[in-house]
A and B are shown apart, each in its own frame.
Chain A
Amino acid sequence: MATTAPPTAPSKKVNRLGLTQASYKGKPSTLCKGCGHDSISSQLVKAFYEYGVEPYRVAKLSGIGCSSKTPAYWLSQSHGFNAVHGRMPSVATGSVLANRDLIAVGVSGDGDTASIGIGQFVHLLRRNLPIVYIVENNGVYGLTKGQFSATADLGSKLKTGVVNDLPAIDLCGLAVELGATYVARSFAGDPKQVVTLLKGAFGHNGTAFLDIISPCVTFNNHAGSTKSYTWGKENEELIQEVDFVPFFEDIDIEYEEGETANVELHDGSHIILKKIKRDYDPTDRRTALELLLDSGEKQQFLTGLIYVDTKKPTLIELLNMVDEPLATLPLDRIRPPQSALLEIMEALR
């Protein structure tokens, strides 16, 4: 790195890897000022920094859309892949198969995931691919100038007055039903919760899906929209309060019987869930689906950790692959010996 300051410079705060928060930044954003996606990018930078992710290990993947542009705006020291519209899941799958050491972080939009890409999305879920999959959900196609997406709520209105008369696809519902093992919903206007849920996702092994409502200030932030900042602020209801304790820190929170639950993640980190109104067990799939159905019907905006399963095997485990990245295995491990070919030829005579 081209910094002249000594790494221990007292003025600069660093994380456990000795990296400053600034080293997790990317190129300046070219999105509209105030776009929810930019807010999520900032929270990503913060979460990477606080968790202490090594940038070189991250693969940033996205489809097409305003949201899918954002991986350029964080982690400039990570490889990024801006794929084609709706096809980020397959590219992510391939890269993780090639190099299981990569930390895949996928960013998509509601158009990218819930319409053109829904086929690949559901199959990624089904495979429980290890990835952090973020949908920056604004209910419209931002990049093509404001058409409804499939996550727009029934009865919500475009700026032009057009009313959506089709039911919304609940991406969290799909995620829980089809096999994701960490499912959360959040709101770009609630940065603290976004950061916490992201860190939890980094500690999880499997598909961590985050549906983050992310207002499009240009096309979907008006009265009548259910994806606007105002609507979000007025309607957000926390399922629980989430806290994250990384594996490298001790848990010093007091447990109150029946008031908190503690989920240990794959890497030894903990998600601490504090009860607010309801008793909610995010490790129970049926409960999660019921909550989503219920809140969907009532058009409630519930945020928090919806579902977590820390036991289900991932695609990588199911494939019983060697521990090292396939991409860089030496020739003698990927080309069978001459005797193997002779044996095969003999059988074909």
Chain B
Amino acid sequence: MSTETVVDTSEPDVQSSIVNDFSIQIATINGSGSQSSNSVLMRAIFQMGVPVSGKNLFPSNIQGLPTWFTIRASKHSYVARNRDIDMLIAMNPQTAREDVQSLNPGATVVYEQSLGLDNVRDDLIFYPVPFGELAKDVIHEPRLRKLLANMIYVGVVGHLLSIEREEIQHAISKQFKAKAKAVELNVKAIDVGFEYAKENLKKADALRIERMDETAGKILIDGNAAGALGAMFAGVTVVTWYPITPSSSLVESLIQYMKEHRIDKETGKATFAVVQAEDELAAIGMVLGAAWAGARSLTSTSGPGISLMSEFVGLGYFAEIPAVIWDIQRVGPSTGLPTRTAQGDILSTYLLSHGDTKHILLFPSSAQECFEFGGTSFDLAERFQTPVFVMSDLDLGMNIWMSDPFAYPEQPIDRGKVLDADQLEKVSDWGRYKDVDGDGIPYRTLPGTKHARAAYFTRGSGHNAEAEYTERPDDYVKLIDRLQRKFDTARKHVPAPVIDIEDGAEIGIIAYGSTHWAIVESRDQLRNENDLMASYMRLRALPFNDALEAFVDQYERVYVVEQNHDAQVMQLIKLELAHRPELLKKLHSILNYDGHPIDARSVTEKLLARESERPSA
């Protein structure tokens, strides 16, 4: 294989090589099998030690609609979406012209020759490849031919970017695992691509992949699989769900992992139960029933499911029953943009249900944290006897992320204040909803506890400390006040924000969840390009703790960056800081709500625009 690069000096705008720092976009048709080729290309770059991230921008459709996949190689380990595409692989006739139009001048286009794209613009570098024709040389079967045409582009791009053929081959073996026939065919397709490019394409662009050593030991995983692993190693026993994109793959991964690792060796029986419920109402009802009876139970859903769970979640809050609910957020209602990402469920989930309810929300921002919070969520739910939400999103949940391998959880799990028969025997005046310890958290017993005083009757808000029915105003006030006390205790136990203070910073940035990665990069841009230092507070949970006020206090202006229109977390921050009106004026929001994962450049631009509006600036 040749890695030689012929730079055509007659091209006016070819600069020196751009190495390990660019984005490739593959435009294909949903259901055309491009998923495997995209993964192979991404993995091959990863195996060359170059940090990568992959983002799938897909339609709500099984087959036929346009879909885009972007692969970003970044020697700086930036993994947020890159707004600017350096190389387009145009395989989809439906979108090819628009895709080409949207490129920045100087970008590269590899395209299916028959699309005749080279006359669309004259400021781009074009590589025509007859993929359809080439696929015929690999296989005659028309259906497979389509799939393999996609693999051929990997070979072409491999040659153009100097990706080592061996690494691509290795990535194919990984992708198709034990399926020898598939491996063989795909490798053949790669070679056809390599060969064609070598013979026919004259390197005119500056993009190159060069070996680095930044990915050794790392893994590639999506957030949903990471969350599933976190739950499995935290001892989840009851899992209920109703399929919905983008959350389904969390439970589907969990089922796979549990089948492997949670079957008792001697008996061949499962130490778990997974039930595909009839809807999300049933899914959350099962979770609450199971948790009431003592199981670590979870359900995973997205916004529409969260809405359906509302009534039950309120019951869980008032009856004080643990539950772990993953919300893999997506855009809008049913036929909105169900396969696009957003952080749009924060406010509605925080206050989900009726009658003074509020909930613990966790915001994982990486695959690593999905794994970690997979366990933290259970510990918190059982400690605080309340529903806990893990607010992931489509970008984090379904896209592939580079990560350090997950560390085995060494801590024992926290099952909270549960009294068994022996412990109950030692307590003379147990009452289900008594605040014995002053932290607002009562002790509970599980059904099936063999003790004459273990039983109690679980119901909504109408109960006193002994779990007896009451509608007395003073009892209700006591209950609400204790629940508030419990919530305040939770502030100190939920994952604290991660604060990164930059010396000399005048401004602060607050963000959470998958937005994090755009902030990492944007702060570098602000520092390196604009000499603007920004300290950063990454929120990891609600309710807030004291660090919030201290952080806002410290800076002249604080930008809250989030992926929704209504500045949902900023609104909550304003509520939290309402007693310090002078702080509220410092808050500005930067929003992204177009359904695509947020990118750093947009954050930087919006922030700078705001900064320049200041009269004294």
User: Is there an interface contact between B286 and A90, defined as CB atoms closer than 8 Å?
Assistant: yes
User: Is there an interface contact between A327 and B293, defined as CB atoms closer than 8 Å?
Assistant: yes
Contact of B448 among A56, A81, A87, A348 (CB under 8 A): A56
Q: Given the complex, which residues of A lie within 8 Å of B408, measured CB to CB?
A: 338, 341-342
Please classify how large the interface on chain B is, using the bins under 10, 10 to 19, 20 to 34, 35 or more: 35 or more
Cα of A120 to Cα of B219 in the assembled complex, Å: 41
Q: Which residue of B lies closest to A82 (CB)?
A: B459
User: Is there an interface contact between B293 and A93, defined as CB atoms closer than 8 Å?
Assistant: no
Instruction: Name, among A98, A315, A321, A322, the residue most crowded by chain B CB atoms within 10 Å (CB to CB).
Output: A98
Cα of A60 to Cα of B286 in the assembled complex, Å: 15
A174 in the interface (beta carbon within 8 A): no
Contact of B292 among A57, A91, A123, A333 (CB under 8 A): A91
Q: Given the complex, which residues of B lie within 8 Å of A335, measured CB to CB?
A: 233-235, 409, 413
Contact of B458 among A80, A319, A333 (CB under 8 A): A80
B270 in the interface (beta carbon within 8 A): yes
Cα of A292 to Cα of B290 in the assembled complex, Å: 35
Q: Which residue of A lies closest to B257 (CB)?
A: A344
Cα of A335 to Cα of B237 in the assembled complex, Å: 10
A268 in the interface (beta carbon within 8 A): no
A101 in the interface (beta carbon within 8 A): yes
User: Is there an interface contact between A331 and B282, defined as CB atoms closer than 8 Å?
Assistant: no
Stretch at the interface among A45-53, A70-78, A192-200, A255-263: A70-78
Q: Which residue of A lies closest to B469 (CB)?
A: A72
Known A98-B294, A321-B273: A329·B237 in contact at CB below 8 Å: yes
- B24 to A: closest C-beta gap in Å: 22
Q: Would you list which residues of chain A between 143 and 189 have a CB under 8 Å from chain B? A: none
Contact of A326 among B220, B221, B295 (CB under 8 A): B295
Known A79-B454, A329-B237: A84·B315 in contact at CB below 8 Å: yes
Q: Given the complex, which residues of A lie within 8 Å of B565, measured CB to CB?
A: none
User: Is there an interface contact between A321 and B270, defined as CB atoms closer than 8 Å?
Assistant: yes
- B495 to A: closest C-beta gap in Å: 20
Cα of A322 to Cα of B457 in the assembled complex, Å: 28
Stretch at the interface among B259-267, B341-349, B526-534, B576-584: B259-267
B285 in the interface (beta carbon within 8 A): yes
Q: Given the complex, which residues of A lie within 8 Å of B283, measured CB to CB?
A: 90
User: Is there an interface contact between A94 and B469, defined as CB atoms closer than 8 Å?
Assistant: no
- B406 to A: closest C-beta gap in Å: 7
User: Is there an interface contact between B290 and A334, defined as CB atoms closer than 8 Å?
Assistant: no
Q: Number of contacting residues on A, CB 8 A?
A: 61
User: Is there an interface contact between A84 and B286, defined as CB atoms closer than 8 Å?
Assistant: no
Chain A proximity mask over B416-452: 1 for CB below 8 Å, otherwise 0? 0000000000000000000000000000011111111
A230 in the interface (beta carbon within 8 A): no
User: Is there an interface contact between B285 and A94, defined as CB atoms closer than 8 Å?
Assistant: yes
Instruction: Name, among B257, B293, B408, the residue most crowded by chain A CB atoms within 10 Å (CB to CB).
Output: B293
Contact of B220 among A89, A101, A323, A348 (CB under 8 A): A348
Q: Given the complex, which residues of A lie within 8 Å of B271, measured CB to CB?
A: 321-322, 326, 329, 333-334
Q: Which residue of B lies closest to A79 (CB)?
A: B447
Q: Given the complex, which residues of A lie within 8 Å of B284, measured CB to CB?
A: 90
Chain A proximity mask over B233-271: 1 for CB below 8 Å, otherwise 0? 111111010000000000000000100111010011111
Q: Given the complex, which residues of A lie within 8 Å of B291, measured CB to CB?
A: 94, 98
Q: Which residue of A lies closest to B217 (CB)?
A: A349
Cα of A325 to Cα of B290 in the assembled complex, Å: 11
Cα of A87 to Cα of B292 in the assembled complex, Å: 15
Q: Given the complex, which residues of A lie within 8 Å of B413, measured CB to CB?
A: 331, 335
Cα of A214 to Cα of B319 in the assembled complex, Å: 29
Cα of A81 to Cα of B268 in the assembled complex, Å: 33
Q: Which residue of B lies closest to A55 (CB)?
A: B455
Q: Given the complex, which residues of A lie within 8 Å of B220, measured CB to CB?
A: 348-349
User: Is there an interface contact between B293 and A71, defined as CB atoms closer than 8 Å?
Assistant: no
User: Is there an interface contact between B288 and A331, defined as CB atoms closer than 8 Å?
Assistant: no
User: Is there an interface contact between B454 and A56, defined as CB atoms closer than 8 Å?
Assistant: yes
Cα of A335 to Cα of B446 in the assembled complex, Å: 21
Known A90-B282, A97-B238, A326-B271: A334·B457 in contact at CB below 8 Å: no
Q: Would you list which residues of chain A between 288 and 341 have a CB under 8 Å from chain B? A: 315, 319-323, 325-329, 331, 333-336, 338, 340-341
Q: Which residue of B lies closest to A57 (CB)?
A: B448
User: Is there an interface contact between B455 and A326, defined as CB atoms closer than 8 Å?
Assistant: no
A99 in the interface (beta carbon within 8 A): yes
Q: Which residue of B lies closest to A62 (CB)?
A: B459
Q: Which residue of A lies closest to B407 (CB)?
A: A341
Cα of A327 to Cα of B297 in the assembled complex, Å: 9
Cα of A57 to Cα of B285 in the assembled complex, Å: 21
Q: Given the complex, which residues of B lie within 8 Å of A81, measured CB to CB?
A: 289, 292, 319, 457-459
User: Is there an interface contact between A322 and B294, defined as CB atoms closer than 8 Å?
Assistant: no
Known A327-B294, A335-B235: A91·B286 in contact at CB below 8 Å: yes
Chain B proximity mask over A63-75: 1 for CB below 8 Å, otherwise 0? 0000000011001
Q: Given the complex, which residues of B lie within 8 Å of A90, measured CB to CB?
A: 277, 281-286, 289
User: Is there an interface contact between A79 and B219, defined as CB atoms closer than 8 Å?
Assistant: no
Q: Given the complex, which residues of B lie within 8 Å of A341, measured CB to CB?
A: 229, 233, 406, 408
Cα of A326 to Cα of B445 in the assembled complex, Å: 16
Q: Given the complex, which residues of B lie within 8 Å of A217, measured CB to CB?
A: none
Q: Given the complex, which residues of B lie within 8 Å of A9, measured CB to CB?
A: none
Q: Which residue of A lies closest to B311 (CB)?
A: A84
- B275 to A: closest C-beta gap in Å: 7
Cα of A34 to Cα of B288 in the assembled complex, Å: 34
User: Is there an interface contact between A93 and B286, defined as CB atoms closer than 8 Å?
Assistant: yes
User: Is there an interface contact between B293 and A94, defined as CB atoms closer than 8 Å?
Assistant: yes
Known A81-B289, A93-B275: A99·B264 in contact at CB below 8 Å: no
B207 in the interface (beta carbon within 8 A): no
Q: Which residue of B lies closest to A117 (CB)?
A: B281
Cα of A349 to Cα of B47 in the assembled complex, Å: 9
Contact of B282 among A80, A89, A95, A326 (CB under 8 A): A89
User: Is there an interface contact between A83 and B455, defined as CB atoms closer than 8 Å?
Assistant: no
Q: Which residue of A lies closest to B457 (CB)?
A: A80
A-B contact pairs, 21 of them (CB 8 A): A56-B454, A72-B457, A81-B457, A81-B458, A90-B289, A93-B275, A93-B289, A94-B240, A94-B289, A97-B295, A98-B291, A319-B270, A319-B273, A327-B446, A331-B235, A334-B235, A334-B237, A335-B233, A338-B408, A340-B261, A349-B217
Residues of B in contact with A (beta carbons under 8 Å apart): 217-221, 229, 232-238, 240, 257, 260-262, 264, 267-275, 277-279, 281-297, 311-312, 315, 319, 405-406, 408-409, 412-413, 445-452, 454-460, 469
Apart from A99-B446, A341-B408, 4 more pairs, CB < 8 Å: A94-B289, A119-B281, A315-B275, A331-B235
